[in-house]
A and B are shown apart, each in its own frame.
Chain A
Amino acid sequence: MTPEAPIVFVVDDDRSVRDALRRLITSVGMAVEVFPTAQAFLSAPRPNAPACLVLDVRLPGLSGLDLQEELANTNATLPIIFLTGHGDIPMSVRAMKAGAIEFLTKPFRGQDLLDAIRHAIDRDRAARTERQELADLRRRYDTLSPREREVMARVVNGLLNKQIAAAFGTTEATVKEQRGQVMQKMQAGSLAELIRNAGRLGIAPHAGVGTPPK
């Protein structure tokens, strides 16, 4: 969870636009990387930092919309700001539906683009934090033994220790001990926190007994 400097990726086939965007973004003190084609962007390594993608719709080879699809398929959640020289409504609708942050028509106001970039970076930062926390939770959850997971599922479903012991055919003391293990391993300070974390992990409080989806 080290706060890295945000970075903006720009993909535009027009060199002068590319250079101008690079200047504009660096002038407000943000890091920027430019690519002439979608393929070049995909093959470049991406640093672990909050980022966003400024993408021209019309690109040679893989188009901007294709790249958006490609990123969605590879689960790379990168906020995208689309640029277009000649935006038509179906194209912008498609882009926005697929989760684009903004759809700007060239020539656009510089401030609009910078605002969109900030918005996108903030969103990506939040998403990254969220993802990080979720990954931590999952890692903690993975340390649980199978029995502890079952105990946890029953606990977050509101079952009493006695009921859990009855269900497993063990003593209440055992359940209590396992429950303590769960609380410790999940780093939950209270039952409420455990329930909230379980919710974020996708273990629904009323989903009954079962293994949570990975």
Chain B
Amino acid sequence: MSTPDSLWWLKHPVMTTYGVPVLSVGAALIIARRLDMHFHDAPVSLFICAVMFSAWFGGFKPGLLAAVLSCLAFIYYFVPRSIHSPWRPPRYRARHCLRLPPSWSDPSVLDKEVQRRRCGRVNSGIVTTSRRSPIGCGRQARTIVSPTSPCLASKASAGSANKGGISPPTSRRNPRSDAFIAQRWRDVSRFRNFRYRTIRPDGSIVYIEASGKPVFDRRFLGYRGVSGDVTAEVRAEQVEKALHQAQAELARVMRVTALGELAASIAHEVNQPLAAIIANANACLHWLEADRADLDSVRDALAAVVKDGDRAAAVITRIRAFLSGSSVAHRPCDAAGVIGEVLFLVEPELGRHGILLQTSLAPDLPPVTGDRIQLQQVFLNLVLNGAEAMRAVLPKRRRMVAGATVDHRDDGPWVIVTVEDAGVGFGDAEATRVFEAFYTTKPGGLGMGLAISRSIIDSHRGRLWAKPNPDYGTTFHLALPGMR
């Protein structure tokens, strides 16, 4: 409970005159230190704001006080020691509070020319992140890593991995990388999260991530900043990348296999238009050879040739797209389009096996984010599995329903794709096992199709599951988060 008595000091004239400038400059200083790593010009603007603020509220005197305080704070915190004076302040505590790396080098007057050129880069604070060690902590506080003193690298490698150092790294195994690092080293400017590879005396490779800035004392002395051993992290990333690569590669192999199953149908799909083109062209030749060429018929036939050529090209284009590289790119794509393209490829094959295909796509399907080719692969896999399961059943029962609906849930719309077959089916217990790798119910099957499909859908933050139908056959459900 505040009473007028307890707040008397707020109304004291000294408080209003001098408290405002002190507080505003303090606030500007704190904000400037925080923002310094992102914006070079933040301190100046903030101090000017503080001065204006004080002058506005207090008048001339508080404004003047704020200006003086700002100047002092700026010189103290933002101008490199080597520039302003030989005076060496007891800064340790302040630096500690702000979690800043330790000291600058021995202050002395910096070469004016260098100062002029480098000031914009040098005069702000040092980047630091929590899990990095400052370079040259404690007794080594004034050691600056320089191109000519690679001692820290050996120190880092000899000591704990966490105390990394910055040095011109030498990785004999990768000359290109060496050249890049050396260039980086010569390019006297601040750097952030610069990751490089170096070799320990025992020959093992270690990855270092460093952030730092150049330090000058008349001349360029070296860099000061933080660095850390990120070998474990890099290795994990590499393994993960390799795993993704392998998965994508395997998925591509499975796509090729799936298309192999469709080869007969695809050959038919290409041969049909080709046959039509040849027949039309022959007809044209006959008409043109006649005494009175039947040009109207020739025109009709040529139009048909163009149409059939386009049709053959469309088949080839889709196949080529389907077999295209193993790189995965997540982009917005429309679910209906994905399904339609697969059905275009697979419909002749279904017809060949006497399977009646029905489709029911909801008109308002939201787009989903994902790799179009991979999603097509999953859908194709489900359709081919269904066709395979119906091979042993009576022809009149061979019916497949491919559908897509939208389900509005709390976390947004979901696209639910279903592939329902009337095949031999399986029980509830098997419904989960079919997604295991190398589990197959097909003779000659590899047992990878559904396992890969599920991993693809997982990577799309979706779900894939199977459910036996009440009468016969199975329905595969595929849920993908839609874009809002």
Contact = CB atoms under 8 A, between A and B. Distances in A.
A114 B277 CA distance: 15
B272 interface: yes
Query: Which range holds the interface residue count of chain B?
Result: 20 to 34
Interface string B151-167: 00000000000000000
Interface in B255-270: 264, 267-269
Interface of B is mostly: helix
Interface string A1-38: 00000000000001011011101101110000000000
Interface string B282-301: 11101100000000010011
Nearest to B311: A16
B352 A24 contact: no
Contact of A17 (B272, B282, B283, B300): B272
B245 interface: no
Interface string A54-76: 00001010000000000000000
Given A27-B282, A86-B267, A110-B282, A20 B297 contact: no
Given A23-B297, A86-B264, A106 B280 contact: no
Interface residues on A, range: 20 to 34
A108 interface: yes
Interface in B296-318: 297, 300-301, 304, 307-308, 311
B280 A23 contact: yes
B283 to A, nearest CB: 4
Contacts of B278: 20, 107-110
Given A16-B276, A16-B311, A24 B268 contact: no
Contacts of A106: 268, 271-272, 274-275
Nearest to A114: B282
Contacts of B264: 86
A85 interface: yes
B332 interface: no
Nearest to A19: B304
Given A23-B300, A58-B352, A86-B264, A17 B276 contact: yes
A60 B351 contact: yes
**Residue of A14, A85, A105 ringed by the most chain B CB atoms within 10 A:** A85
Contact of B268 (A16, A58, A109, A110): A58
Contact of A110 (B274, B281, B308, B351): B281
Contact of B283 (A20, A86, A109): A20
Interface of A: 14, 16-17, 19-21, 23-24, 26-28, 58, 60, 83, 85-86, 105-111, 113-114
18 contacts: A16-B276, A16-B304, A16-B307, A16-B308, A20-B283, A20-B308, A23-B279, A27-B297, A28-B286, A83-B275, A85-B267, A85-B272, A86-B271, A106-B272, A106-B274, A107-B271, A108-B278, A113-B279
Interface of B: 264, 267-269, 271-284, 286-287, 297, 300-301, 304, 307-308, 311, 351-352
